[in-house]
Amino acid sequence: MGHDWSRLAGDLERTLRLRSIPFGMKLFEDRAEMEAIPRIRRPGKIHTLDQIIGQAARLGWTVGITAEDLVQSQCRAVVGLGNVKDEAWMTGEHMVGVWFKTVEDASIHQRAMYCVPDGKYQALAVAPLASGRLDPPDIALFYATPGAMMYFINGLQWSGYKNFEWGVVGESACADSWGRALVTRKPSLSIPCFAERRYGGVLDDEMLMALPPEYIVQALAGMEALAKNGLRYPFPQYGIQQDVREGMSASYPA
């Protein structure tokens, strides 16, 4: 059964008070399939993938790219566009003296990244989730504050509890979000890196969640159940010097 993408996105925006647009990402083995998406935009300049993501999340654009539209190999590697993950890329030598002290440090970083394997995909598209143009997207993504992210995770854990464990690769943190979600098909939370904030317009208080869309349905159901218990976002401040018993009694029986 397909999703009502407009309703799904709207429910997510309202529940978490999102300030940017939930969007989808889809990889294509044939670039012609990407180019056939209604109202698709193609970049006229060279960009980072962070900028392409920002155009979907901040401007509501539907954008399609190939490897040639992206600067250097790091952006291409995470989503498997082009054949870039050779031994030179694995050394991380292009990051030595910039992000890492030694080649050894840079190489460990490169090998720690979640990346889609090279050779299968020719193109990628991003679009607002509500548009339904990527029906279905491979993954859905949204930016939110740490508090909103915790509430979303609480919703995921309402039924069928799982302990989520995520890593922080540092720079190239897109590997922690869309890279990990594309590879593992699991919810993937990241702290966006310098490049995402400098080039992608990510705000200082934002985190990024990437996940297959069915997890949003699960989280929304969980958050609806939490709301019935009086647990809603944004979290109301109680006061750091108040007697806690009155506040706790609203949630837990004596």
Q: What tokens does 192 get?
A: 């966006």
User: Is residue 7 pLDDT above 70, yes or no?
Assistant: yes
The pLDDT value recorded for residue 253 is 80
Q: Provide CB contacts within 8 A for 229, sequence distance 6+.
A: 251
DSSP code of residue 173: G
Using the Cα atoms of residue 51, residue 54, residue 59 and residue 61 in order, give the sign of their dihedral: positive
The pLDDT value recorded for residue 130 is 98
User: Is residue 2 pLDDT above 90, yes or no?
Assistant: no
Alpha carbon 155 to its chain centroid, in Å, reads: 17
DSSP code of residue 127: E
CA distance 1 to 136: 11
The pLDDT value recorded for residue 162 is 96
Q: Are 80 and 121 in contact (CB under 8 A)?
A: yes
User: Is residue 1 pLDDT above 60, yes or no?
Assistant: no
Confidence at 252, pLDDT banded by 50, 70, 90: confident
How confident is the model over 174-228, as pLDDT tens digits? 999 999 999 999 999 999 999 999 999 999 999 999 999 999 999 999 999 999 9
Mean pLDDT of the chain: 96
Using the Cα atoms of residue 102, residue 108, residue 111 and residue 114 in order, give the sign of their dihedral: negative
CA distance 116 to 131: 25
CA distance 228 to 117: 43
Confidence at 254, pLDDT banded by 50, 70, 90: low
DSSP code of residue 235: P
CA distance 233 to 36: 39
User: Is residue 155 pLDDT above 90, yes or no?
Assistant: yes
Give the residue-averaged pLDDT of 149-171. Answer: 97
Residue 222 has a CB neighbour count (10 Å cut-off) of 20
Give the residue-averaged pLDDT of 48-73. Answer: 97
Q: What tokens does 155 get?
A: 């919703």
How confident is the model over 90-142, as pLDDT tens digits? 999 999 999 999 999 999 999 999 999 999 999 999 999 999 999 999 999 99
The pLDDT > 90 percentage for the chain reads: 95
Q: Are 11 and 220 in contact (CB under 8 A)?
A: yes
